[in-house]
Amino acid sequence: MRIFPTCLLAIALAATPAVAQTSPEDVAKAALEAAPVFDGHNDVPGALRERYKNILADFDFEDTHDAPPSSFARGAMHTDLVRLRQGKVGAQFWSVYVSAALPEPKAVQTVLEQIDVTKRLVAKYPESLQITLTADQVEDAMAHGRIASLMGMEGGHSIWSSLAVLRQMYDLGARYMTLTHSKNTPWADSATDTPAHDGLTEFGKQVVREMNRLGMLVDLSHVSEKTMMDALDVAQAPVIFSHSGARAVNGHARNVPDAVLVRLKENGGVVMVVALPTYVGEEFRQWFARREAEKKRLETLWPGQSDQSAAGLKEWDTANGPPAATVSDMADHIDHIREVAGVEHIGLGGDYDGMPIGVAGMEDVAGYPALFVELARRGYSQAELEMIASRNILRVLRQAERFAADQRDVPPIETEVTSD
């Protein structure tokens, strides 16, 4: 019997495994349509403060390519509504970060201003953005085509060592707090400061307990390894790392060591993998360290002669261009976290608009689909990609809410106020 070419094609397709018939691009696309990205950390509120002094009258969030420069990012902003859609971002934790160098009373005022500007931004674009406070509200916003907008506080200095202030920040809508930023607080050690407390103080442990009672996510990005361990000892709800990588892949102190990843599996939390090149690419981190050493050498060689040292650094930069940190490097972090903790404990937290530029291929928020294509090429299933995109962090948020609901009859932790 003669078999026609169309029959041969049908027979060949029937004999081919279904996974082989679906391209990585198709797997990634299907995953992001089913579960849009829920990003753990974006610094647009800080960019509004730096670039626009929190004045939104002339700010166009549809397209921010013409935004005025900031102190650390001379180019365009990384985020606008057009690129969020291109990046398949369906939910966003906006960081209401304020500098860790501020005195704590000033930090409290400033974070209130950042909460205010975030709410005003969302209100300005009601067709595209929606303030959300719960996992159910996040899913409802995404189902109606709006980007669910939550707020995360970056740095415990913003509560002025007061559980009362913490509770009020939660009531204003903050749904996570990073225990430290770049400096220690009076009750917790940072990853990038000289240890002062050997992790968390007793008050720091009370902060974690009260956050759990409220349903506020405990964010362990930026904290020391000992603080991570102490927080995991105390936490009764899943923790998050809102924008961190795996230290085994990139040795920066801001990344999560394997000993913590092992414990994260038991806790149920997630590492939301960051796109900041210094934390992602080990070669980039080493290059940056050499550049900082050269900068210090030149400043020592030419004291009081900034033109000379600047010219020398420019010459060094010309001769020693930075290696690229790439989408592939970022996928390496995800691979490692999956190997140690499991795919259920991975999310994404780009840190866009809180850094000069993202990794090559993901320079701004539009780049997330490229990461998902890379992961699909590495064999991640659609279900696994959906977990990484948003299902894992939604589970964590729900578990925190559930624990808080169970604590409804537990009174707030009371602490004595200090004398004025």
Rounded Cα distance, 362 and 365, in Å: 7
How does strand 240-244 pair with strand 270-273? parallel
**Residues 161 and 102 sit within 8 Å (Cβ to Cβ):** no
* CA contacts within 13 A on the Cβ side of 271: 31
Residue 230 is among the residues annotated as catalytic for this protein: no
At CA 292, angle to CA 103 and CA 196, rounded to 5? 40
- Active-site residue, selected from the candidate residues 78, 181, 252, 336: 181
The full length of the chain comes to 420
Residue 222 is among the residues annotated as catalytic for this protein: yes
**Which residue has tokens 């361990």?**
229
- Active-site residue, selected from the candidate residues 78, 157, 243, 252: 243
- Active-site residue, selected from the candidate residues 78, 222, 336, 345: 222
Residue 144 is among the residues annotated as catalytic for this protein: no
Residue 351 is among the residues annotated as catalytic for this protein: yes
- Return the closest-CA partner of residue 35 out of 23, 44, 27: 27
Rounded Cα distance, 204 and 189, in Å: 10
Rounded Cα distance, 364 and 124, in Å: 22
Rounded Cα distance, 345 and 135, in Å: 17
- Return the closest-CA partner of residue 168 out of 108, 106, 101: 108
- Active-site residue, selected from the candidate residues 43, 50, 230, 364: 43
Q: How far apart are the first and last CA of the chain?
A: 98
> Which positions ≥6 away from 281 have C-beta within 8 Å?
250, 323, 324, 325, 326, 329, 359
- Active-site residue, selected from the candidate residues 39, 41, 252, 374: 41
**3-state class (DSSP) for residue 203:** helix
Residue 154 is among the residues annotated as catalytic for this protein: yes
- Active-site residue, selected from the candidate residues 39, 139, 351, 353: 351
> Which positions ≥6 away from 334 have C-beta within 8 Å?
273, 346, 375, 388
- Active-site residue, selected from the candidate residues 80, 154, 219, 386: 154
Beta strands in 354-419 (DSSP E): none
Residue 3: count of CB within 10 angstroms of its CB: 9
User: Hey, what amino acid is at 169?
Assistant: M
User: Hey, what amino acid is at 104?
Assistant: E
Q: Write out the catalytic residue numbers.
A: 41, 43, 154, 181, 222, 243, 351
